[in-house]
Amino acid sequence: MLDQLEQLATAARTELDRLASGDALDDWQRRTIGRNGQITGMLRRVGELPKEERPQFGQRANQLKKELEAAFEAKAEAIKAAELEQNMAAGALDVTLPGRPVNRGRLHPSTQTLRRIYQIWADMGFQVYRSRDVETDEMNFQLLNFPPHHPAREMQDTFYTTNPDVLLRTHTSPGQVRVMREYFPEPIRVILPGMCYRHEQITARSEIQFHQVEGLAVGKGIRFSDLKGTLINFAHRLYGAGRPTRFRASHFPFTEPSAEMDVQCFLCDGKGCRMCKYAGWLEILGCGMVHPTVLRNGGYDPEIYSGFAFGMGPERITILRHGIEDIRYFWGNDLRFLEQF
């Protein structure tokens, strides 16, 4: 029986050395040194031996069991360490893999132009005043001196709501009256940027929505020379100092006198090119002295106060600056266009 015990122990030891997984190890433990294992079973059979052989057998069996238990613990540790190593290797991060590009957004070309315009006017002391997109017929037309059947109304085909007195503003000029009514009797120096809407055929040259930046200065003793000086200063900041400008007489119902301002074409320096349609000049804004009727509608007595106003189109400025051929690109959401800015 002692020989049998030695054989069992040797076999168990050999098997243990070859084990590679935690599950197999548990199984081995159950079959050998566990409560119902073979070695434990041999110990129980000690009573089958003659009395004088029992102490020696018992001692040897206990010794072997202890040795196997120690070997089991060592093996368990080793397997645990190996498994940990394997997990670490499997989850390792390869820092040499190529990265994926992150898409970066950019400012819309109109926003870029708007911000340049805000900056220039801020430098000259003009604050931004936000006026509403949805206006009344009264604000958009009547208080700006458009009589009910004035042909100029037809120049600005209008989006009406179901209420014919409520519409989408066709220009930023109605903000002039709102500012005056809010600021009276303070002097005014504001720009009014915002989206405008016109019920038009969408083509390469006209859109149903576009930005405008309106400007308004009201105070005592403001003259046409102030208008000219201020706008020339603006044009020089936007298009470069020394760029020639000119004013042409024009007509708007809400200004008197009215003018349009041109800058010399910055592509051909006035020689004539496709951009300026061989005129040598580019029109950049409308302007004029605030009409006495409009001043009165804003609450300012035209006998005491005067002012100038102007209106420009950021999309037009952007088109001229970058040679953009089709205004529909602005709201087309085509990244191939937008990514160029």
What is the smallest separation between the CB atom of 284 and ligand DAH, expressed in angstroms?
11
What is the smallest separation between the CB atom of 235 and ligand DAH, expressed in angstroms?
15
Q: Which of 109/288 has CB closer to ligand DAH?
A: 288
What is the smallest separation between the CB atom of 300 and ligand DAH, expressed in angstroms?
15
Distance CA 262, CA 283 (A): 4
Which residue from 75, 169, 171, 211 is in contact with ligand DAH, where contact means CB under 6 A? 171
Distance CA 50, CA 160 (A): 117
The two three-digit tokens of residue 69, written as one number? 């238990």
The piece of 25-33, 130-138, 158-166, 281-289 that touches ligand DAH (CB under 6 A) is 281-289
String of b and e for 7-23 (b: at least 16 CB within 10 Å)? ebbeebeeebeebeeee
Q: Which of 28/315 has CB closer to ligand DAH?
A: 315
- Closest alpha carbon to 323 in 309, 337, 306, 308: 337
Q: Which of 72/210 has CB closer to ligand DAH?
A: 210
Q: Which of 110/173 has CB closer to ligand DAH?
A: 173
The piece of 41-49, 100-108, 283-291, 293-301 that touches ligand DAH (CB under 6 A) is 283-291
Q: Which of 75/178 has CB closer to ligand DAH?
A: 178
Distance of CA 308 to the CA centre of its chain: 36
Q: Which of 109/311 has CB closer to ligand DAH?
A: 311
Q: Which of 61/191 has CB closer to ligand DAH?
A: 191
Which residue from 135, 214, 262, 315 is in contact with ligand DAH, where contact means CB under 6 A? 214
Among residue numbers 284 through 323, which ones bind ligand DAH (CB under 6 A)? Answer: 286-288, 309-311
What is the smallest separation between the CB atom of 151 and ligand DAH, expressed in angstroms?
14
Measured at CB, which residue is nearest to ligand DAH?
311
Distance of CA 96 to the CA centre of its chain: 30
- Classify 78 as helix, strand or coil: helix
Task: Give the containing element (helix H, strand E) for 254.
Answer: none
Bridge-based pairing state of the strands 188-197 and 127-128: parallel
The two three-digit tokens of residue 87, written as one number? 């997990």
Q: Which of 126/252 has CB closer to ligand DAH?
A: 252
Q: Which of 84/155 has CB closer to ligand DAH?
A: 155
Kindly report the CA angle at 215 between 300 and 236, in degrees rounded to 5? 135
Distance of CA 39 to the CA centre of its chain: 73
- Closest alpha carbon to 267 in 287, 246, 240: 240
What is the smallest separation between the CB atom of 301 and ligand DAH, expressed in angstroms?
20
Size of the site for ligand DAH (CB under 6 A): 11
57 in contact with ligand DAH (CB under 6 A): no
Which residue from 129, 183, 252, 330 is in contact with ligand DAH, where contact means CB under 6 A? 252
Distance CA 212, CA 199 (A): 16
Which residue from 113, 173, 230, 318 is in contact with ligand DAH, where contact means CB under 6 A? 173
Q: How many residues does the chain have?
A: 341
Which residue from 140, 145, 255, 306 is in contact with ligand DAH, where contact means CB under 6 A? 255
Write out 173-240 in H/E/C secondary structure: CHHHHHHHHHHCCCCEEEEEEEEEECCCCCCCCCCCEEEEEEEEEEECCCCHHHHHHHHHHHHHHHHC
The footprint of ligand DAH (CB under 6 A) covers 171, 173, 214, 252, 255, 286-288, 309-311
